[in-house]
Structure 1
Amino acid sequence: MHKPLLVTDFLDRARRHYADETAVVATTGERYTYDEFGERADRFSAFLQSVGVEEGDRVAVLDPNTHYQLEAAYGTMQVGAVHTPLNYRLTADDYAYILADAGVTAIYADHEYAHRVEEIRDEVPTETFVTNDADAVDGDWRSFDDELDAAGTGYDRPEMSEDDVVTINYTSGTTGDPKGVCRTHRAETLHSYLVTAHQDISDDDVYLWTLPMFHVNGWGHIYSITGNGATHVCTRGVDAESVFDAIQTEDVSYLCAAPTVLNMLMNYYDDHDGDVRTAGTNPVRAATAGAAPPESTLRTVEGEFGWTLMHVYGATETGPLITTSHSPRHLAGKSDDERFELMKRQGIGYLGTEVRVVDEDGADVPRDGSTIGEIVVRGNQVMDRYWNKPEATEEAFSERREGYYHMGDLATWDEDGFVAIQDRKKDIIISGGENISTIELEDVLYDHPEIAKAAVIPAPSEQWGETPKAVVVPTADATIDPDDVKAFVADRVANFKRITRVEFVDQLPETATGKVQKYELREREWEDEESMVGQG
């Protein structure tokens, strides 16, 4: 039997089996059952059709993690339109580019962010503008709740194919213009199944939204939490006190936490001398992605918070998740040092996901834990294509190994297939002909008790072409100087990998999901050079 895989099935299932259970805890205090959540999504569907939104049209959503985003997402997908979530940390010019590039027909924008869209509304093809507080927004904006009240619940759900594009997620734009990643019903559904399996999601979970819902549909959790009949706890931003408070008051069992969020929680914990309740009655598990968590983070989160920490890896183009280090059988029986070493790695491939590490010719590098190659992947959760960018799509799937998506990350893998990222292709430092991993150096820096954040970049060197430079955010009470930092690293790495330059800063440039935008640091460092690549 072949049954089409459609993302609308997730809310349909929850309404069928969990109608009276709490679906959403809103930031404003309301609680919606799955029956109520579903009705509001139906009303948004009816509203969209009333203003002329048709199957295949793009509908944008600009919202912090509130119930409106969940309702708008499902309301959009139920009429066969394409959900297009927007990063709420972008500028008006960014929105002008994305809305025009995607040809967005209608947009819902939270009242705190709508003014950025209002600035450029005459430059974009968008015709319908909706917000959750029209009185707080200048311009001609419709009220979300008023339109829902007027629309009724009746709408026509078209026949949809699992190969239809259902969402376009724009990349974070760490280099150049963001690209629209097109994902189908099938890809989203299978990715959600994988997240459910590997993150142990069940119907009694209470999920705290610390991860932006716009970011690859919140790693698929808008589907996984909904389809399992679990509870969404919404937020309007993240601060440590509110996270720990929500864990207590809502008995949160699961959250995702970017490295910046983990740092924030640990700093709050330290500032209160550990006198913080880190769990309610439910045991807590947290998924983290991005840079590998330093060992100090693992020891604090698991040893002192008492949480289970799962390190996962992926990219917007891949669902995003393709690997996990949460592998109890591989971790069992190991010492803390051995276990933490594995947990810092990106891990092994998800079910049905083929992850390889290949050389310049596309051949697998030895599984010896030391030979570096690029990560490539095949899986049902990988994107369909880039929106209106066929050449970029072709390159992404064929540069080294035909038919695999190329992650752009340089890594090793071991005999069990555990992948460990060493660097981005563009971030590797080539000094005097030697490859130096910036991630390896950053991991050393994070072991320093007076370093809060750090990024390592190549700096120009007449002698070596490039040389490692550390850009460091010290802790509030730090007394270190550049020489201290250099000496700390020199004691822990090979001579050719030593940090030769150090700059202290108040903060690092980051994307909304906590990724350090190293290209900004590199551009500043190399602005007086003819090229951003050394001749080492």
Structure 2
Amino acid sequence: MEKPLLVTDFLDRARRHYGDREAVVATTGERYSYDELGDRADRFAAALQDRGIEKGDRVAVLDPNTHYHLEAAYGSFQTGAIHTPLNYRLTPDDFEYILTDAEVDAVYADYEYAEKIEGVRDDVPTTTFVTNDADGVDGEWEDFDAVVADAGADYDRPEMSEGDDVTINYTSGTTGDPKGVVRTHRTETLHAYLIALHQELRDDDVYLWTLPMFHVNGWGHLYAVTGMGATHVCTRGIDAAEIFETVAAEDVSYLCGAPTVLNLLSEYYGSEDGDLTTTGDAPVRIATAGSAPPEATIRTVEDEFGWYLKHVYGATETGPLITTSDARRLFDADDDARFSVKKRQGLGYLGTDVRVVDEDGADVPRDDETIGEVVVRGNQVMDRYWNKPEATEEAFTDRREGYYHTGDLATVDEHGMLAIQDRKKDIIISGGENISSIELEDTLYEHDAVSQVAVIPAPSEEWGETPKAFVVPSNGDPENPPVSTEDLTAFCESRLAGYKVVHRFEFVDELPTTATGKIQKYELREEEWEDEEGMVGQG
């Protein structure tokens, strides 16, 4: 028999089996059981319907990782509406574009970010505006707690199909207007199943929300953690001291963090005098993605924090997660050689066809040298781009028909493990030679004076392009760094082939990043190439 795959099933299951157990530790100090979380979601659903929201309408959520986001999301799901989470680091102009493009009917916005919506509300089709502190926000906003208190718990859950749209996640828009990635009940549900399996989620897990919930629905943890009946520990941002304190105080067993977050934790850990408590009673595992973490970072996380690291990979369009380096039969848990395996993007998730293909769409050899583009086919891959049929067709038909094309360049080893070499736009073509910016970054991260680094192609009269490194020094002072550019060049010369050596450096106090901590190299590229007609690699 067949049963429709619906995202409403996740909260339904948690309420059925874990109703009296703790579901959420709120940033405001409250603790909610699954019965209480479910009741608040029901009331928000009823309130939405009272305000005219119907199946297929779009409901946007602009919120850091608080319990309100969970309640607004599940309340929306239960009405058959399409959840549209917003990146809280965007500008009012970005919000105006997204709210208009998606024709959003209602928006819930955290008090800290509501002013960004208030500034454009007369220019968008949205008619319902809710916040969690109406008194602290300018304009006419309804208060979330008052709304759910006034609403009854009865609402009409419409008949839904697993093929119905359920979320629209907007990409960053680094090469034009943001694109809305449309996902169905089916794609979200199957991705959440894969998360539960590959991330080893259990009902006694305590999950710390360091990954933004808006980011592809928190990599599916919005569903998977709930469906397993585990505990959500909410946050309002990334603070290293608070993360360590919360891990210990709440017995956190699982969290996620981009390599830049791992680096932040490592720096804080190294700056503390004496022993820093890094775990509670439960062993801790952490998932990282975005770019390959340097081996030195993995070593710190596992050998000093005592956490188990899982390196995963994907994109907004792919669910996001499609591969994992957690292949324990391929490394010895006590051998430092495991770090070289764990920094790879790894093997495809169950039911996921991940390939690396050449320009003709043929699989590259498993020699760990030949570079091709990563393409993927799987049940967790997006349905389409919202109102962009041409972009959808291009994404699935470039090199290999029917596969989503990621734009990432990789090699494959004898076991079929992927290792991303670069983005198409980040590969450096110097004198006709392809140079991986990731390889150069890994090398520079080994230097004690380098806290963070991003390498991009810079214009060169002699070579067309040449590597340039933007370095955040370990002392945080770009005016007086603890190392010279000559020393860094010499460091590279001792470890890299001559044509790969970095000769250009710029010390900076910070690198541009996304809300998930992923470095935005395109900003650095645009600034570096603004006076040039074009790039050799067209990045």
TM-score range, shorter chain: over 0.9
519-528 or 384-393: bigger deviation? 519-528
Q: What value does the CA root-mean-square deviation take over the aligned residues?
A: 1.2
Residue equivalent to 1:398: 397
Residue equivalent to 1:448: 447
CA distance in 1, matches of 2:174, 2:531: 21
Percent identity (aligned)? 72
CA distance in 2, matches of 1:375, 1:356: 6
Residues 312 and 323 in structure 1, CA contact (< 8 A), matched pair in contact too = yes
In the alignment, does 2:390 pair up with 1:380?
no
* Partner amino acid, structure 2, of 1:149: A
Residue equivalent to 1:516: 519
Shift of 1:533: 2.9
CA distance in 2, matches of 1:334, 1:368: 26
Residue equivalent to 1:479: 482
Residue equivalent to 2:464: 465
Residues 475 and 482 in structure 2, CA contact (< 8 A), matched pair in contact too = no
Compute the TM-score of the two structures, normalised by the length of structure 2: 0.98
In the alignment, does 2:428 pair up with 1:426?
no
CA distance in 1, matches of 2:319, 2:514: 18
Residues 522 and 532 in structure 1, CA contact (< 8 A), matched pair in contact too = no
* Partner amino acid, structure 2, of 1:456: V
Shift of 1:221: 0.4
Equivalent runs, 1:74-153 vs 2, <5 Å: 74-153=74-153
> Cα 1:333–1:136, aligned 2, differ >3 Å: closer, same or farther?
closer
Render the CA deviation track for 1:423-452: whole Å, top value 9, x for unaligned: 001111111111011111011111111101
Residue equivalent to 1:286: 286
Residue equivalent to 1:316: 316
Residue equivalent to 2:297: 297
In the alignment, does 2:182 pair up with 1:179?
no
Equivalent runs, 1:266-277 vs 2, <5 Å: 266-273=266-273, 275-277=275-277
In the alignment, does 2:154 pair up with 1:154?
yes
SS in 2 for 1:422: strand
> Cα 1:323–1:502, aligned 2, differ >3 Å: closer, same or farther?
same
Render the CA deviation track for 1:364-396: whole Å, top value 9, x for unaligned: 000111100000000000000000100110010
Residue equivalent to 1:49: 49
* Partner amino acid, structure 2, of 1:6: L
CA distance in 2, matches of 1:275, 1:188: 41
Residues 59 and 106 in structure 1, CA contact (< 8 A), matched pair in contact too = yes
Residues 461 and 534 in structure 1, CA contact (< 8 A), matched pair in contact too = no
Unaligned 5+ runs, structure 1 = none
Equivalent runs, 1:492-531 vs 2, <5 Å: 492-531=495-534
Shift of 1:463: 1.1
CA distance in 1, matches of 2:16, 2:212: 27
In the alignment, does 2:11 pair up with 1:11?
yes
SS in 2 for 1:515: coil
* Partner amino acid, structure 2, of 1:49: Q
* Partner amino acid, structure 1, of 2:232: H
Residue equivalent to 1:61: 61
SS in 2 for 1:410: strand
Shift of 1:229: 0.3
Shift of 1:150: 1.1
Shift of 1:534: 6.3
Render the CA deviation track for 1:460-509: whole Å, top value 9, x for unaligned: 11111111111111111741111111111111111111112111111111
CA distance in 2, matches of 1:449, 1:292: 19
CA distance in 2, matches of 1:17, 1:455: 47
Structure 1 runs (4+) deviating above 4 angstroms are none
CA distance in 1, matches of 2:38, 2:398: 44
Residue equivalent to 1:491: 494
SS in 2 for 1:64: coil
Render the CA deviation track for 1:204-229: whole Å, top value 9, x for unaligned: 00000000000000000010000000
Shift of 1:273: 3.7
Residues 425 and 537 in structure 2, CA contact (< 8 A), matched pair in contact too = no
CA distance in 2, matches of 1:361, 1:514: 34
Unaligned 5+ runs, structure 2 = none
